[in-house]
Chains A and B, each alone.
Chain A
Amino acid sequence: EMQLVESGGGLVQPGRSLRLSCAASGFTFDDYAMHWVRQAPGKGLEWVSGISWNGVNVAYVDSVKGRFTISRDNAKNSLYLQMNSLRPEDTALYYCAKDTGLQIAATGHWGQGTLVTVSS
């Protein structure tokens, strides 16, 4: 069974850093691009970042460029999101999602999310 399990969320002060992780199982991890998508409380979905199957191609939404870094370790079947200089508007449930193919295109299967709260 395909599984994506996020971890690393929590309460953090503005300006601080947090690293999210996503452990994947039940599929061949390096056959797929991967994504982080967030959802602020009561709001819609916002794509945050994506990474191709081999990590060569990465992309970010404008609001996190220069602050967030996506990476993956195919040997460990893991996806990461390093979040620096966090702002209150980054508060959201962060989902890890598997793409439908090798390159960044769409989010197929999703995890259950990890909550990030940025507040003093």
Chain B
Amino acid sequence: DVVMTQSPLSLPVTLGQPASISCRSSQSLVHSDGNTYLNWFQQRPGQSPRRLIYKVSNRDSGVPDRFSGSGSGTDFTLKISRVEAEDVGVYYCMQGTHWPLLTFGGGTKVEIK
């Protein structure tokens, strides 16, 4: 089974400063079709999760462009160019390459310093 590992567990950030979250998979997420199905979710306090990014770097509708995803193979990164107060929450990576068996990372909590 593929294991998704995120770091750091907690990320204190100053408003307006950038933030970066790492996600590593225990095996390559390159699908047999050539695509890489690594997705990112945001869960604000008290809310259900919301997908931000799919297929490594594609933003969902309505997601601000300060969020960006990158990476390949087994190493991926979610970046927030300038953190805003509404970005506080927990961020999860999730692999879909082995769909329908979905696997989430353990989460990274973004908080304001």
A binds B: no
